[in-house]
Every structure is written in C-alpha cells, then in structure tokens.
Structure 1
Amino acid sequence: MAIDKTLYDRLGGKPTYVKVHKIFYDKAYAHPWLSQYFTDKPQELLENQQTDFMIQLMGGPKCYSGKSPKSAHQHILITDELFELRAKMLSDSITEAGISDKLKEQWLDADATFQRALVKTSEDECIRAYPTQPILNFSK
C-alpha cells in the first residue's frame, strides 16, 4: 500500500522552500512599495522564518517557533492590494524555482488561506504589540 506524500515531500523538501523564499525576498526587498515594510528586518531572518513556517504548514517537520501570521502582522495595514501583490510575487518566485503548475497551485492555495486573517481595511483594525510600536502603512 502506497503512503500519500505530504505537499512538503512532493515539493522536494526544505531545499525547495529555501530556494523559493530566497527568490521571493530578493524581489520583495527590491520592490519600491513592499520593501518599505521590511526596513527593520534582516532578509535572511525573514527567509528562514517563512521557510520554517511553510515547511510545517505543508506537512514537514515541526520547525517553526514564531508567532502566528495574524499576531505577527497585527500592526501592519495589509490591504487586499498589498496581499495580492505579495501573492503575485510569490507565484512568480515559485515559477522561477522550477516548480510545476500543479504544485504551485497547491502552494498558493495554502498561502491564500491567510488572506482573511491578515487583510485590514483601515489602521483602526491594526493592533500594536506595545504602545510605541508604529502602525506600518506605506503609500505606493
């Protein structure tokens, strides 16, 4: 009897996630709008956190120890437009990494499940983790 592989396994394990997130964050840090949200975070840190998070989400080893996406982004005004820009960049990054369309669709479906929890319509919906934490909201 064959055992069904997890999406993590079908994607080729950790090296695939590392590759995709390197490509993605190179794009994000170079983008004139999106890069403004990352000025206080080292790129390698975000690549590693996102890799660990997605590995765990897609059935790989339990290796992520950070905050939930909602908690980590509660102080950021993420609009539908910003979320969709990020999703497009992720889609392009997955393609550039040589992943099949079928597996890319599954990855993007998993990623899209967070849109509802992350998207806000105004700064009033943002929550500071501490009183002096800035609300991140940058113009295009």
Structure 2
Amino acid sequence: MEKSLFDRYGGFSTVSKIVLDLYDRLLDDDDVGPFFDEIDMARIVDHQTKFVSSLMGGPASYTDDQIRKMHAHLAIDPEHFERLEEILRATLSDHGVAPEDIEAITGAFAARRPLVVEKER
C-alpha cells in the first residue's frame, strides 16, 4: 500500500512546521494578513495543521459544512483565495515538497474554494 503524502513527509511534525511558516508569511502579506488581525493564532494554527494534514491524506478532516461555517463571516474574494494558494505553494516548495505533490495538495485545497470564497457562494 502506498503511503499518503502526510506519512511520506513526516506526519504532524512536518505539517506543523509548514503551517507555522505559512502563517508567518500570511501575516506579513498586505492582501490576506488583515484577515488574521483579531484571530486566536494558536487556535487557527491548530485547525490549519489538521486541515493541511487532511489535504495530504492524513487522519484529520473537516466537513464541507464546517469549512463553510468557519469562513461565512469573512469577505474572502477570489483574489484573496488565489493569493493564499500562491503563498501555500511557495511554502510547500520551500519545505521540500515535490512539485507533483504540491499540485496534489493545492488541488485538494482548490476543491474547497466554493466553500470559502464569498462571491462564489
């Protein structure tokens, strides 16, 4: 049986490093950083570690309804989503994730776009 990306890249230990770096980058970004101004960062990093793990085939998961509810109060435009995806790609690459695996992870991420982008809801 083939290992999941989650297992191949080292599980929660590696994913948590990627997510911490991702949020450092997101917070510094002028376009998406303001979304996190009033957010409990420890809580969101925990949630995002589980979410990215799920994108990589790990044990955590969120339902579409949970994802929709978590983002319903935010005015996320297509441009914000695209910027976040761009930063995610760069972060994964900088952590040694292979290009084909980046495509798989960002493809799973993009599949959830209609759940979070306001203009597409």
Q: Structure 2 length as normaliser, TM-score?
A: 0.85
Runs of 4+ that moved beyond 3 A: none
Determine helix, strand or coil for the equivalent of 1:103: helix
**Rg larger for:** 1
> Do residues 12 (structure 1) and 43 (structure 2) align?
no
Size of the aligned set, in residue pairs, is 120
1:99 is paired with a residue of what secondary structure? coil
2:90 to 92, 97, 117: 92
Q: Distance in 2 between matches of 1:91 and 1:47?
A: 17
Q: Using the alignment, how far apart are the partners of 1:104 and 1:59 within structure 2? A: 13
Alignment map for 1:111-122 (pairs within 5 Å): 111-121=109-119
Match of residue 34, structure 1, among 32, 35, 38:
32
Q: How big is each residue's C-alpha offset from its partner over 1:20-65, in whole Å with a ceiling of 9 and x where there is no partner?
A: 111110011111231211111132322111001222343322477x
* Partner in structure 1 of residue 107 of structure 2: 109
After TM superposition, the score normalised by the length of structure 1 is 0.75
Cα separation, partners in 2 of 1:62 and 1:121, compared to 1, 3 Å: closer
2-structure distance, mates of 1:99, 1:62? 20
Matched, 1:24 2:22: yes
Amino acid at match of 2:7: D
Provide the aligned C-alpha RMSD in A.
Answer: 2.2
User: Counting helix residues as a fraction of each chain, which structure ranks higher?
Assistant: 2
Compared with structure 1, are the counterparts of its residues 45 and 87 closer, same or farther at alpha carbon in structure 2 (3 Å cutoff)?
same
Match of 2:73 among 72, 75, 100: 75
SS in 1 for 2:81: helix
SS in 1 for 2:114: helix
Q: Is the 1:11–1:103 Cα contact (8 Å) retained in structure 2?
A: no
How much does 1:97 deviate?
A: 1.1
**Consecutive unaligned residues in structure 1, runs of 5 or more:** 126-140
The 1-side partners of 2:118 and 2:60 are apart by: 29
Is the CA contact 1:20–1:97 (under 8 Å) kept in the aligned structure 2?
A: yes
